Structure 1
């Protein structure tokens, strides 16, 4: 499965499926920029802090059975998580634009993922997912792409070499 995640301690994990999906340096830069955005925005620390505040607040108001509040907390957390994902996307756009002078190629990952989303999946995901829909993220990235579409090099020797070292 194509995926990447930022782990505490500054570690970014990229799955082998991600390398099968990405074909350009710009696409890889966007994914890495997105994960770096989570570190820059301190999303890990905010998530733990939010859960701690929720648990303390619930106990102060007499909710001793935190299990019953779990679903409510989970729904609230998902909204925050989707915001964090969108903010990390904005950071990646900014980073890719600084490096390459444009954001073309940043849509590569989401274009592939959006193909797999069905309308049924969209309805369920919109409600329960920690991430915005790939199709929605794709539209947001495309808004930043100004000028004629650039023809990016696909699987250059340098990119192929880089991905081989990452596997």
Structure 2
């Protein structure tokens, strides 16, 4: 009985597949308008609770790189529905990180500018984060999480004494983490790397600087978790993916004007 309920639930999830900009099948059921509303609400909360950098030169660099990338989106993926306006904010936070949210929001931590030392390296990070948005990775992750929870709930209700219900749910919960959630997260990261590389090249940023960026990251953080249990690939794995995709990106870069963003 339990087996057939699981099969039925998985079949229902798989019936809603569509494709990402790279052609990978995905399941993303949350309405985009709802994702945009959640993204905007989250961004506004951060803007009002975290200190914001006001240095004009830093703001100018962040906005220039972001605008160049967003302008190139329509040329690379004209079929993707993207916001007409993107709000860019630099947060005063030493953690080297950045993010993009549905609804057209880009956040950059000031600490990233210590690692992304050129506009091209910064474009590699922001392009990667925009890649998450246009591939609807947040939507896919939320859909997966809702699906996993639904299956576990059904199993919990349906285990008629064949095995311990709690034991089965714990086992399947671990399996869903190692077998679905974490690998998909790594797949998202790799896909965003590929999209970001193509996007930065189309926008006129040198794609080879993406590899320089990850070498900078390696110098910053040599201690990484075992890759199987990590939601992010190792730095070496990311560099290998970028090198594999570099010939195509370099060809694109050679055919467009250079982006005109001045370094700090």
* TM-score of the superposed pair, with normalisation by structure 2: 0.50
Give the equivalent residue in structure 2 for 1:56: 150
SS in 1 for 2:99: strand
Distance 1:10 1:92 in 2: 16
Which whole-Å deviations, capped at 9, do the CAs of 1:107-166 have from their partners, x for residues lacking one? 132111223554xx45x330221111112111222334458xxxxxxxx98221xxxxxx
Determine whether 1:29 maps to 2:123.
yes
Asked if the contact 1:96–1:106 (Cα under 8 Å) also holds between the matched residues in 2, the reply is no
Cα deviation, residue 102, structure 1: 4.8
Give the equivalent residue in structure 2 for 1:78: 182
Give the equivalent residue in structure 2 for 1:44: 138
SS in 2 for 1:158: coil
SS in 1 for 2:153: helix
Give the equivalent residue in structure 2 for 1:134: 235
Cα 1:17–1:67 shift into 2, 3 Å: farther
Cα deviation, residue 62, structure 1: 2.5
Cα deviation, residue 106, structure 1: 1.4
Give the equivalent residue in structure 1 for 2:199: 95
Cα deviation, residue 53, structure 1: 0.8
Cα deviation, residue 79, structure 1: 0.5
* TM-score of the superposed pair, with normalisation by structure 1: 0.75
Asked if the contact 1:4–1:15 (Cα under 8 Å) also holds between the matched residues in 2, the reply is yes
Which whole-Å deviations, capped at 9, do the CAs of 1:10-68 have from their partners, x for residues lacking one? 32222121111111111111111101001100011111100111111122223675973
Distance 2:261 2:228 in 1: 42
Q: Which has the higher helix share?
A: 1
Tell me how many residue pairs correspond in the alignment.
149
Cα deviation, residue 94, structure 1: 0.7
Q: Which has the higher contact order (CA 8 A, sep 6+)?
A: 1
- Larger C-alpha radius of gyration, 1 or 2? 2
Cα deviation, residue 7, structure 1: 3.3
Query: What are the residue-to-residue correspondences of 1:113-152 with 2, within 5 Å?
Result: 113-116=217-220, 118=222, 121-122=223-224, 124-146=225-247
